[in-house]
Amino acid sequence: MLFNSIEFAIFFPIIFILYFLFFNKNIRHRNLFIICISYFFYAMWDWRFLSLIIISSIADYLIGFKIYDSENEKTRRGFLLLSVIINIGILGFFKYFNFFTDSLLSLFELFGWTYSYRRLNIILPVGISFYTFQTLSYTLDIYRKRLTPTKDITSFFAFVSFFPQLVAGPIERAKDLLPQFHKISKVSYNSIRSGLILITIGLFKKIVIADRLAVYVDSCYANVDQANGIPMLIAIIFFAFQLYLDFSAYSDIAIGIARTLGFNLSTNFKRPYLSNSFSDFWKRWHISLSSWFKDYVYISLGGNKVNKTKIFRNIFIVFLLSGLWHGASWNFVIWGALNGLFLILLDNHINQRIKSKLLKHIFIFVSWALSLVFFRAQTFNEAINVFSNINLSNKSNIYSMGLNNSELHFTFWLLLCYMLIEYINEKKGNLINIITNRNIIIRFTFYLLLILSVILLGAYGVGFNDTNFIYFQF
Amino acid sequence: MVLDLMILILSIFNFKQLKMTEQTNTIIQLIKKITLLSIVIFVIIIFSDHKGYFNPDNKNNHTLKKWNYFYEFNKKNNVDLLLIGSSHLYTGINPKNLSSASGLNSFILASPGTRVIDHFYTLEEALKVSTPKVIIIETYGLRSHEPYQLKNDLLSNQFKSFSARRNTLLKLQSTPLLFAPKHYPYCWSNTLRNHNFIFTNNKQISENIKISKKRRKIKKDLYLGRYVRFQTGIEDSIINKYRIDGAPVDGGKYEINENSSFYIQKIINLCEENKIKLAFLTLPMYHEHIKNYNVWKKRLQIELGEYGSTDHWLDLQIPINYSNFSRNSFENTYKLNQHMTYSGSLLATYKLVDFLNTKNLLTKDIKKKEQKWRSLFYGEEGFFENNSPVKHDKRNKIIYTSESIEILLLKKQNHNTILAKIKTNDTADLDNNKIELEAIVTSNGQQYKQNLLLNYDIYHSHKKNRNYTLNIKSTVTEIKIVNVKYP
């Protein structure tokens, strides 16, 4: 069930009303209700993979106690290892089995050893990378004595399966989200209102901007030779915006839904395209994943408390793993490696040599957008083909890559306006908050225009492909 | 945990426990505001739909026209003979000729690309407006319907048919059967479906705005659902293609799934419940255009049950040697979907008249004598072929009459026509015969003797009525028949 689907438009109001009329009075009832609707929400994709969430939840719930109760470091470490094996094992099998086997066989072929092997037909369960990392953070935090295990099984199961962020994050830490399942949250009019506004803004970002960008990007990547020249360049820039707006739209909707139900999820994006350095960029982009890797991988490897070479090594490892987390393909590994290298090699130069903030933003954006060619292309050869088709001389097919003249101009202006709003938000504070604190006529007009623009300007319906959120595939 | 679940379920049904807490008040206040906002948005969309700002090109929306005229027709009249089907039907049958020959009010409710579920709901809505005596279902649409697989053309056709219907309840019922869930909003609202016209077709929007400012009126002409599309027949290039590439249509591929089968049965049941005579009609494609028709036919026969017999099913996909259809009867196309031309449709119409007569599906020509019926159809296409002009008609007159023949002089736009009608039940082939008239012709005020030769008109004849015609100059004002020679 997609957040931008008819099914969800029916599902959400129903559960919202039921939630407040009947369930948000007793903690256990509320949590049971959340588990039921979350499992239903997930089962709409494929009910069979619910078992993975349940296995992961049971294992980490029990292992959490074992780690906490044990005083012997070896035993504690053993149980933590068990949790890692179960979670990473599930993730590894479903997401990486074929990738690693193929890579290994290719390596053997280099040495002249050939093996015949029948590839397993493995379906990738939706959101597996997100919920395994979330539940893993629970045992890791208990092991690090930052968290005491919860005795309330319903709270824990609700924490793992909480539907707004189950399939594409934000990846929540148990210490932040779990306590919210231990109490009945008092929901105010303003929190629900701000949640609903976030949902609508998320839908606007997804349906009006990202999905229209997707039409152009998909068309160019599907016909790389035809998109030769400026169209390919536009597609590369568009994809950087598409990815950002698509994913941040999902996060906005997830945070908005959670907020209407009385839960606070962590912020996942903070205007990343206004970053002044690559390290700044990673503090603003997919924050919940970046901080997860920082806390559980980078710091475990020694963090900043080692010499410079090892710091660079640690950064590089984190980025390689982050690339691999996104997908079982060498393209993602290259994408991760490139971004690691940007951070290691270019950050100092940016700080020293580029004085203008605007130029910094542009430099970081361009580097990022180019690295995303590996993220978007299906294969390494396709990515190279994309790069070889970039030039400024050929502009013949600009308006024939899925968007016509007026659609393309509208999209450019919309992106410009969006970045302007981001800039105002960065400098003057949240523009939406300013509007929503004005009198009722202004507020009502704003809501009306926002919803009508989604309805009338959105890239949806007959003639458009059904568009998933990009991060669902991870 | 199990106990908790039980308590939870019980608490849902224990409404007395619901107290107006602060939280509940907040939610109610919020729901009120959201409802208000939703209503405003809903009204805006309804308004835009009503005004038709996002309508697709409506110049050619004959499906909408059919329904509008159907409702209008039934305000003062009743449709006696209702024909339901797809584009094959409205290009393949001429309801005016059918009405004139049968003496009943016939109407075609057919929409391009539609299938049996659409036919069923068309029938159900039609029955709420009129009380037909005979229903004829064209069989081309009686095959598998997969709402989830509808793409572009078929989907847009389905939208067109759906939005032309007026009965909200029936439309609601049929929505999940005709469309995939993601298309539900689009079938109900042109604004939602075609909102992208803002970027892709803003000329259409400005045109629609202009149209919306004018009040739309239904013309008071007699429109019975026909839509003529093709005038010329199959050319040599297509015939050669048949010879080289074979028939494009493979009857073996036309299947009837369970869902469609269910709705065929529902149509049969609905007609039986309402005591309406039901017949099926297969309009032909050129014989070289289709192969394995027998496989398709057998499947249909199984589905139609007792209605699959020749008593209830007029199958015109018969060998060309026996049918009078020729290359000129069919659209010049190699596409899967071949329609009939105007002349082909006339042949098919009169074959249908013969079928209805011989199978006793028509009630006797009751209405032919009714003033209301005559004034409705008088002078319309096919009227004089099957009926006589009134005495005071100065344009069209009887110039000779006997027991077995009636000869008319008809005024047309650019010429006059002499029409001789032989009333016979003789089934002999009159194709090569002619009628010879010895006449005194008055033209430009001058009188002269002339022998006139009338040719057999295959397109405007049926078993009860053989027509012979001759076009003459429009200057001819009077003809006195001296002698008639006919077979």
Angle between helices A153-161 and A50-69 (to 10 degrees): 130
What's the alpha-carbon Rg for chain A, to the nearest Å?
23
Check whether residue A149 and residue A264 sit in a common domain. Answer: no
| Other CB atoms within 10 Å distance of the CB of residue A71 | 7
Separation CA B475–CA B134 (nearest Å)? 44
Class of residue A111 by CB neighbours under 10 A (exposed 0-12, middle 13-18, buried 19+): exposed
Q: A456 vs B198: CB contact, 8 Å cut-off?
A: yes
- What is the nearest CA distance from A407 to chain B, expressed in angstroms? 6
Residues B411 and B349 in one domain: no
DSSP state of A402: S
DSSP letter string over B38-87? HHHHHHHHHHHHHHTTT----TT-HHHHHHHHHHHHHHHS--SEEEEESH
Cβ atoms of B144 and B372 within 8 Å: the answer is no
Residue position matching structure tokens 């190279």: A384
**Angle at alpha carbon of residue B97, lines to B64 and B363, rounded to 5°:** 100
Q: Is A182 a known active-site residue? A: no
**How big is the CA angle at B150 (ends B148 and B153), to the nearest 5 degrees?**
165
A405 falls within a domain: yes
Q: Residue A195 in 3-state DSSP?
A: helix
Is the distance from CB of A314 to CB of A395 less than 8 angstroms? no
The SS3 call for residue B135 is: strand
Amino acid A356: pLDDT: 87
What is the tens place of the pLDDT at every residue in A268-287? 999 999 999 999 999 999 99
The mean pLDDT of B156-170, rounded to a whole number, is 90
Q: Which of A418, A401, A429, A404 is nearest to A453 (CA)?
A: A418
Of A32, A193, A461, the CB nearest to B4: A32
Hey, which residues does B161 pair with through a beta bridge?
none
Does residue B323 share a domain with residue B399?
A: no
Residues with Cβ < 8 Å from B463, sequence gap 6 or more?
Answer: B354, B357, B358, B425, B427
Q: In this structure, what token pair is assigned to residue B60?
A: 């050619």
Q: B158: which 2 tokens?
A: 């389905």
A323 and A405 belong to one structural domain: yes
Whether residue B299 is found in the same domain as residue B399: no
Q: Are residues A157 and A233 in the same domain?
A: no
Considering the domain boundaries, does residue B249 fall inside one? yes
Which chain B positions have a beta carbon within 8 Å of A440's beta carbon? none
Residues B206 and B339 in one domain: yes
| Among candidate residues B310, B340, B358, the one where a domain is terminated | B358
Last residue of a domain, one of A184, A204, A219: A184
Residue B376 lies in a domain: no
Find chain B residues with C-beta within 8 A of A410's C-beta: 199
Distances in Å between the alpha carbon of B433 and those of A215, B108, B454?
66, 34, 9
Residue found under tokens 């803002």:
B198
pLDDT reading at B447 higher than 70: yes
Q: Supply the CATH number for residue B442's domain.
A: 2.60.40
The nearest alpha carbon in chain B to A406 belongs to B199
Which member of B40, B45, B185 has the closest CB to residue A448? B40
Q: Peptide bond before A13: cis, by omega within 30 degrees of 0?
A: no
Report the distance separating Cα A146 and Cα A156, nearest Å: 16
CB-based contacts of B299, cutoff 8 Å, min separation 6: B254, B255, B256
Domain boundary among B307, B342, B358: B358
User: What's the CA gap between B115 and B84, in Å, rounded?
Assistant: 10
- Mark yes or no for CB contact B185/A457 under 8 Å: no
Q: Both B321 and B408 in a single domain?
A: no
Q: Which residues contact A416 (CB under 8 A, 6 or more apart)?
A: none
Q: Give how many domains chain B has, as a whole number.
A: 2
- Close Cβ partners of A210 (under 8 Å, ≥ 6 residues apart): A241, A242, A245, A246, A249, A467
Q: Is pLDDT of B16 > 50?
A: no
Question: Whole-angstrom Cα distance, residue B141 to residue B124?
Answer: 16
Same domain for A107 and A229?
no
- The residue behind tokens 């704003």 is A446
Paired tokens of A286:
């997919």
State the Cα–Cα distance between residues B267 and B139, nearest whole angstrom: 12
Q: Which of A7, A20, A404 sits opposite B27 (nearest CB)?
A: A20
At which of A150, A184, A218 does a domain end?
A184
Total domains in the fold of chain A: 2
Q: Do B1 and A452 touch (CB under 8 A)?
A: no
Strand order through the sheet with B397-401: B397-401, B405-411, B416-422, B466-472, B446-456, B434-443, B476-485
Q: Please determine, for residue B423, whether its predicted confidence score (pLDDT) is greater than 80.
A: no
Instruction: Examine the domain organization and report whether B215 and B337 are in the same domain.
Output: yes
Is A227 found in the same domain as A100?
no
C-alpha A294/C-alpha A279 separation (Å) is 12
**Residues in chain B closer than 8 A to A446 (CB atoms):** none
Give alpha helix (H) positions in B315-363. Answer: 342-358
Same domain for A101 and A144?
yes
Burial class from Cβ neighbours inside 10 Å (0-12, 13-18, 19+) for residue A439 reads: exposed
Kindly state the tokens that stand for A46.
């494929």
- Pick from A110-124, B321-335, B446-460: least confident: A110-124
Contact B83, B89 (CB under 8 A): yes
Query: Is residue A297 classed exposed, middle or buried when 0-12, 13-18 and 19+ CB atoms within 10 A define those classes?
Result: middle
Query: For residue B386, which of B342, B440, B337, B423 has the smallest C-alpha distance?
Result: B423
Contact list, B35 vs chain A (CB under 8 Å): none
φ/ψ of residue B334, rounded to 5 = -110, 0
- Do the Cβ atoms of B193 and A410 come within 8 Å? no
User: Of all helices (H) and strands (E), which one includes residue A84?
Assistant: helix A73-91
Average pLDDT of the segment spanning B113-138: 94
Q: Identify whether residues A162 and A296 lie together within a single domain.
A: no
Looking at the structure, tell me whether residues A36 and A176 fall in a common domain: yes
Residue B382: left if φ>0, alpha if ψ -120 to 50, beta else—which one? left
Residue A212 in tokens = 């229209």
Same domain? For A371 and A237 the reply is yes
B34 contacts in chain A (CB < 8 Å): 196
Instruction: For residues B280 and B404, state if they share a domain.
Output: no
The pLDDT tens digits for B371-388 are: 888 888 998 888 998 888
Burial environment of residue B368 by CB neighbours within 10 A (0 to 12, 13 to 18, 19 or more): middle
Contacts of residue B366, Cβ cutoff 8 Å, sequence gap at least 6: B103
Please give the residue of chain A at the shortest CA–CA distance from B7: A29
Catalytic entry in A326, A349, A361, A409 = A326
- Closest-CA residue to A41 (of A7, A88, A64, A69): A7
Same domain, A216 and A296: yes
The whole-number pLDDT of residue A363 equals 93
Residue B73 and residue B169 in one domain: yes
Among chain B residues, the shortest Cα distance to A451 is held by B41
Shared domain for B104 and B253, answered yes or no, is yes
Closest to B283 measured CA to CA, from B79, B67, B86: B86
B234-282: pLDDT as tens digits:
999 999 999 999 999 999 988 888 889 999 999 999 999 999 999 999 9
Answer whether A124's CB lies under 8 Å from A45's CB.
Answer: no
User: Could you say which of A169, A184, A199 is where a domain stops?
Assistant: A184
Does B41 sit within 8 Å of A455, measured CB to CB? Answer: yes
pLDDT tens-digit readout, B337-365: 899 999 999 999 999 998 998 888 876 65
Does residue A354 belong to the interface with chain B, where contact is any CB pair within 8 Å? no
What pLDDT digit, counting tens, does each position of B410-420 carry?
888 788 899 88
The answer to whether residue A1 sits within a structural domain is no
Interface probe with A: pick from B15, B21, B25, B26, most Cβ of A within 10 Å: B26
Per-residue tokens: A171? 């990846």
Angstrom CA distances, B89 to B84, B155, B173, B317, stand at: 7, 19, 25, 14
Same domain flag for B286 and B420: no
Residue B444 tokens, joined: 């430009």
B402 shares a domain with B277? no
pTM of the model as a whole: 0.80
Confidence of residue B424 (pLDDT cuts 50, 70, 90): low
Q: Is there a domain that residue A145 lies in?
A: yes
Query: Rounded CA gap, B256 and B341, in Å?
Result: 27
b/e for A129-167, b at 16 or more Cβ within 10 A?
A: bbbbbbbbbbbbbbbeeebebbebbbbbbbbbbbbbbbb
Please say if the pLDDT value at position B109 is more than 50.
Answer: yes
* Cβ atoms of B110 and B116 closer than 8 Å: no
The DSSP string of B398-429 is: EEEE-SSEEEEEEE-SSSEEEEEEE-----S-
Residue of B nearest to A5 (CA): B182
Domain encompassing residue B319: 62-358
User: In which residue ranges of chain A is pLDDT below 70?
Assistant: 466, 472-474
- CA-based nearest distance B154→chain A, Å: 12
What is the distance between the alpha carbons of residues A110 and A104, in angstroms, rounded to a whole number?
10
Q: How much is the mean pLDDT over chain B?
A: 85
- Check whether residue A216 and residue A173 sit in a common domain: no
CB-based contact B40 A458, cutoff 8 Å: no
* Chain B touched by A457 (CB under 8 Å): yes
Q: Does a structural domain hold residue B86?
A: yes
B81, part of any domain: yes
**Could you list the residue range(s) of the whole structural domain that residue A204 is in?**
190-473
Contact residues on chain A for B181, CB-CB shorter than 8 A:
6-7
Q: How far is CA B438 from CA B130, B397, B433, B480, in A?
A: 49, 18, 17, 9
Mutual angle of helices A189-203 and A230-260, in 10-degree steps = 160
Whether A319 and A464 map to the same domain: the answer is: yes
> Which of B339, B358, B377 delimits the end of a domain?
B358
The closest CB to that of A455, out of B18, B156, B195, belongs to: B195
Among B22, B25, B27, the strongest candidate for a mutation testing the A interface, having the largest count of A CBs within 10 A, is B27
CA distance A247 to A268: 9
Same domain for B321 and B468?
no
The CATH number given to whatever domain includes residue B231 is 3.40.50.1110
Q: How confident is the model at residue B90 (pLDDT cuts 50, 70, 90)?
A: very high
